[in-house]
């Protein structure tokens, strides 16, 4: 399944991104320039451009916050024996060494193809069709969130919020490389770091043991486990 996701994501989002950029790539520059003229974006870019201290402070703050949230998440998850996620993606987390490797590839792939699709190609297409930078940004973010419907309402809202941060990073820096790297690191945290540090997934050889059994979180553990073999639905 991980290999299927990786293949389909690369071909679907990667292929569509290339096709759309061939058709609407000429609108990428004008859209970026238009969004950079929005007062909040222009003000932030001016503050960064003329004040090195502000730039260093913002970058340092983001890095420290990311590391702190990650460490706290690992500690809490190891204590609860469960990974806190935005949306319902627990079943997608890697459970053995081979899946961890594929999770890493999925993370890098998502960082590249999804950013090309939702920060460059799709917004350029909407901007070219509508002439509105607001429609381009809002429309691409809405679709980005809607495609995570399988994660539930929390996943849709959380994904849209993260997407908006990636868009802000893109328009402030003027480089698509910045959100690509940030997106890949964010996914590597979820699909590699947490499964390894919380469940020890890297210790399980999927060719011998398909997955590491995950204990029931203490907050959900029943007072008394039933005796006898599990049913087909709970096995």
- pLDDT score at 109: 96
Q: Distance between CA atoms of 32 and 218, rounded to whole angstroms?
A: 48
Instruction: Give the residue extent of every domain in the chain.
Output: 2-203
Q: CA nearest 119: which of 189, 35, 233, 221?
A: 35
Q: Distance between CA atoms of 228 and 181, rounded to whole angstroms?
A: 49
- pLDDT score at 99: 93
- pLDDT score at 230: 41
Residue 216 φ/ψ region, left for φ over 0, alpha for ψ in the -120 to 50 degree band, beta for the rest: beta
- pLDDT score at 226: 41
Confidence (pTM): 0.81
pLDDT, tens digit only, all 235 positions of the chain: 889 989 999 999 999 999 999 999 999 999 999 999 999 999 989 888 777 777 777 778 878 887 887 887 777 767 766 666 665 667 778 989 999 999 999 999 999 999 999 999 999 999 999 999 999 999 999 999 998 887 788 888 888 999 999 999 999 999 999 999 999 998 999 899 988 988 888 888 888 876 555 544 444 444 444 444 444 444 3
Q: What is the DSSP string of 17-86?
A: HHHHHHHHGGGHHHHHHHHHTSHHHHHHHHHHHH-HHHHHHHHHHHHHHHHHHHHHHHHHHHHHTS---S
Q: Distance between CA atoms of 133 and 126, rounded to whole angstroms?
A: 8
Q: What is the DSSP string of the chain?
A: -HHHHHHHHIIIIIHHHHHHHHHHGGGHHHHHHHHHTSHHHHHHHHHHHH-HHHHHHHHHHHHHHHHHHHHHHHHHHHHHTS---SSS-GGGS--SHHHHHHHHHHHHHHHHHHHIIIIIIHHHHHHHHH--HHHHHHHHHHHHHHTTGGGHHHHHHHHHHHHHHHHHHHHHH--THHHHHHHHHHHHIIIIIHHHHHH-GGG--TTTSS-PPPPPPTTT--SSPPPSPPPTTT-
Q: Distance between CA atoms of 118 and 163, rounded to whole angstroms?
A: 8
């Amino acid at each position: 399944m991980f290999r299927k996701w990786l293949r389909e994501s690369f071909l679907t989002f990667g292929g569509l991104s290339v096709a759309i950029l061939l058709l609407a790539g000429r609108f990428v520059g004008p859209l970026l320039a238009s969004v950079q003229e929005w007062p909040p974006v222009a003000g932030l870019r001016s503050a960064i451009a003329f004040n090195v201290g502000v730039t260093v402070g913002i970058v340092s703050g983001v890095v420290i916050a990311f590391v702190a949230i990650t460490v706290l998440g690992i500690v809490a998850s190891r204590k609860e024996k469960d990974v806190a996620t935005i949306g319902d993606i627990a079943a997608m987390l890697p459970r053995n060494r081979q899946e961890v490797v594929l999770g890493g590839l999925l993370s890098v792939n998502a960082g590249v193809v999804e950013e090309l699709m939702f920060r460059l190609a799709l917004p350029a297409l909407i901007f070219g069709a509508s002439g509105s930078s607001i429609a381009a940004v809002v429309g691409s973010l809405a679709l980005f969130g809607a495609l995570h419907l399988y994660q539930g309402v929390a996943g849709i809202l959380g994904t849209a919020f993260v997407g908006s941060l990636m868009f802000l990073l893109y328009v402030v820096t003027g480089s698509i490389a910045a959100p690509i790297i940030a997106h890949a690191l964010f996914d590597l945290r979820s699909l590699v770091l947490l499964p390894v540090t919380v469940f020890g997934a890297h210790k399980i050889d999927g060719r011998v043991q398909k997955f590491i059994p995950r204990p029931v979180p203490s907050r959900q553990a029943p007072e008394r486990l039933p005796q006898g073999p599990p049913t087909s639905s709970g096995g």
